[in-house]
Amino acid sequence: MQRVRSGDFSRSFRRTTTKVVTTRLLQGGGLASPAASPIIAVVIEVHALTKRFQRLVAVNAVSFTCYDGEVFGLLGPNGASKTTLLRLLASVLEPTAGTALVDGLDVRKASARVRARVGLLVEAAGLYARFTPREHLRFYGRLHGLDGPPLERRVADVLNMLEMADFADRRTEGFSAGMGRRVILGQALVHDPPNVILDEPAGGLDVMSTRKVRALIARFRDEGRCVLLSTHLMSEAQRLCDRVAIIHRGHLQAVGAPADLVAQTGAGDLEEAFVRIVGEERLQADLWEEKRPRRWYQFWQRERPGSRTDA
């Protein structure tokens, strides 16, 4: 199998090759064999990526690769540093050590160009209560350099894609969680990025809204986008992801197709495989830490007086 950096190819090439790649990923439960798929474009490369906040090592020498037309999941409990890792890849945070390339662009050296090629959906994002969804999309589109008729066409496309036409010109104050999540997702997609990073995309949504998010993720994959998402819901990961990386306290524990990880651990499903890979005692210790928020707060205050980290 020949692997190439997608930065060497146009968006149209990515879309024409993705259908074959995605089909083989779905048929085999993971990456295709060398004979089956001649080209799979590498779009995200992470090598020994590390992020420290003073003494706290939030991300510790993590390495993995994401491919075109693939949904890649980061799995881990709360506090595993999934969000920190996604922010590093979106060039929101700067790595302490290691490298990360998005479409061949270094997140440290070419952060502006990386952000132009990434759509980032953060878990906790707010909306301007007096803005309408259309105004939110226009605002974010202008931040990405769009204006005039191209901006209006793109705003209309996103409103239709996310089924927001019925409330596109209503103020967002009082929106349901599902409606608000669609607006935030639209902000991440308004510049038509080839790579989509989703932090807990179905967090806090009802059943119908969650189904719509899943359908969108499948659509992104079919369109040739690389989708990188984080979740702590194993059933969601097993349903959506072609491959997953299991993260615990900033350390990479395993990478592979969900079916492969289940088979390797002799588990009945991905949730059981996750517990076996990380270790039940370590996960129980995480729960104990969650019940003691003051301990972490005091650590942050001691290390960075007057501030806190996002690890």
How many percent of the chain have pLDDT more than 70?
79
Global confidence as pTM: 0.80
- Amino acid 120: pLDDT: 93
Q: 148: buried, middle or exposed (CB in 10 Å: 19+, 13-18, 0-12)?
A: exposed
171, part of any domain: no
Taking residues 147-164, what's their average pLDDT? 95
Q: Are 243 and 257 in contact (CB under 8 A)?
A: yes
Residue 294 domain boundaries: 2-117+193-303
What is the number of structural domains in the chain? 1
Query: Can you state the angle between helices 280-290 and 293-303, rounded to 10 degrees?
Result: 80
- Place 125 in a pLDDT band, splitting at 50, 70 and 90: confident
pLDDT, tens digit (0-9, with 9 covering 90-100), for 219-262: 999 998 999 999 888 888 998 999 999 999 999 999 999 999 99
- Amino acid 301: pLDDT: 46
311, part of any domain: no
- Place 205 in a pLDDT band, splitting at 50, 70 and 90: confident
Cα-based distances in Å from 173 to 126, 186, 232? 11, 17, 29
- Amino acid 207: pLDDT: 85
Q: What share of the chain is helix, strand, coil (3-state, %, to 5)?
A: 45, 25, 35
- Amino acid 33: pLDDT: 38
> Is pLDDT above 50 for 128?
yes
SS3 state of residue 42:
strand
> For residue 75, what is the domain's CATH number?
3.40.50.300
pLDDT, tens digit (0-9, with 9 covering 90-100), for 251-296: 999 999 999 999 999 999 999 999 999 998 888 877 766 655 554 4
CA 254 to chain CA centroid, Å, is 17
- Amino acid 31: pLDDT: 44
- Amino acid 140: pLDDT: 95
How many percent of the chain have pLDDT more than 90?
60
> Is pLDDT above 70 for 174?
yes
Other Cβ atoms less than 10 A from the Cβ of 250: the count is 23
- Amino acid 3: pLDDT: 46
157, part of any domain: no
- Place 60 in a pLDDT band, splitting at 50, 70 and 90: very high
Q: Which of 83-87, 120-124, 298-302 has the lowest mean pLDDT?
A: 298-302
Q: In whole angstroms, what is the distance from residue 44 CA to residue 100 CA?
A: 7
177, part of any domain: no
CA 59 to chain CA centroid, Å, is 16
Q: In whole angstroms, what is the distance from residue 151 CA to residue 202 CA?
A: 28
Cα-based distances in Å from 308 to 53, 127, 298? 9, 23, 10
Cα-based distances in Å from 19 to 13, 40, 49, 209, 223? 11, 11, 30, 26, 8
284, part of any domain: yes
31, part of any domain: yes
Q: Are 177 and 188 in contact (CB under 8 A)?
A: no
Mean pLDDT of the chain: 83
Cα-based distances in Å from 95 to 3, 51, 182, 242? 25, 5, 30, 27
For residue 71, give the nearest of 246, 241, 233 by alpha carbon.
241
> Is pLDDT above 80 for 204?
no
Other Cβ atoms less than 10 A from the Cβ of 281: the count is 8
310, part of any domain: no
